Amino acid sequence: MIKAGIIGGAGYTAGELLRILLRHPQVKIDFVYSTSQPGKPVAGIHQDLLGETDLNFTDKINLEVDVVFLCLGHGNSIKFLKENEFSEETRVIDLSTDFRISAKDHSFVYGLPEFRRDEIKQAKHIANPGCFATAISLAILPLAAENLIEDEVHVNAVTGATGAGTSLSETTHFSWRDNNFSAYKAFEHQHLGEIDQSLKMLQKEKEFGINFIPNRGNFSRGIHATAYTSFSGSIEHAMDIYQKYYEDAAFTFVTEEDVHLKQVVNTNKCLLRLQRLGNKLLITSVIDNLLKGASGQAVQNMNLMFGFPEKEGLNLKANYF
């Protein structure tokens, strides 16, 4: 049994972490840190946990826990870790953007299990991937691994309202989101850097661009992404490439059948559909942005780091109806 701490406990990702970890047979939650809610019941904020836990938020930190999850706003994790020195034995899993790009001044491993499983198993510090980056990278990595990206990759993806977090803004109010749809940050979304970094670690010999248009959907959670690029092989060749790449993946599955969000929401799965259309390969990728795109993947990384079964605590059923 390991002890876990959560920093920034009042947001959506922390709520999902709590839901998973409270039922994880190998984990005891030691503290849930929040500067805005100290002393208040966790179930008062995360109301789905009423009757599930008597934990209270705290403004005290145990620096000796076995693992700590950082659920802080982007740019705050670096500052927090400078001000709070955890034990040498404490594993750190950061869910912000702060450490996702490789650099000489930090020791964080990019935590996409389908891509860097062996490194994750040995890591003490993990940079959990972004939600769009997870959906899009999983759609394209098998092609890069075979050096088969010959042309630009075009991506269109839509995310639910929870992708914006709990802080209100003009575009997160119900009256704005309801019956509405919009694009934002076209060709310059912050997740592009980590996607590009992963792909170019695999395909080093050929240059290519990623044209990414993110969209806001009028639903709560999930990401539906479509990516296409030139491909000269057959659909059978593509299926063989993808199935071999993901043959040991715990949560990523490849199909030629239609995929949709209800298959993955409330789970840690990524479903990939392949289609050969003209001289293009179209890959559709669907995930839950709060689970495979955030908290579920963080627990998957934790399981790998501590030698637990990879699916431990993550056998979740989709809310299909």
Known catalytic residues are: 131
Q: Which residue has the tokens 């190998």?
A: 26
| Residue 216 CA, distance from chain mean position | 17
Locate 125 and state its tokens: 């510090």
Backbone angles phi, psi at 143, to 5 degrees: -65, -45
* Residue 210 bridge partners (DSSP): 153
Backbone angles phi, psi at 158, to 5 degrees: -125, 140
Asked if 14 and 8 count as a contact pair (C-beta separation under 8 A), the reply is yes
Q: Which residue has the tokens 């839509």?
A: 158
Cα-only R_g, the chain: 19
Asked if 121 and 305 count as a contact pair (C-beta separation under 8 A), the reply is yes
List of residues 6+ apart from 11 with CB closer than 8 A? 71, 165, 166
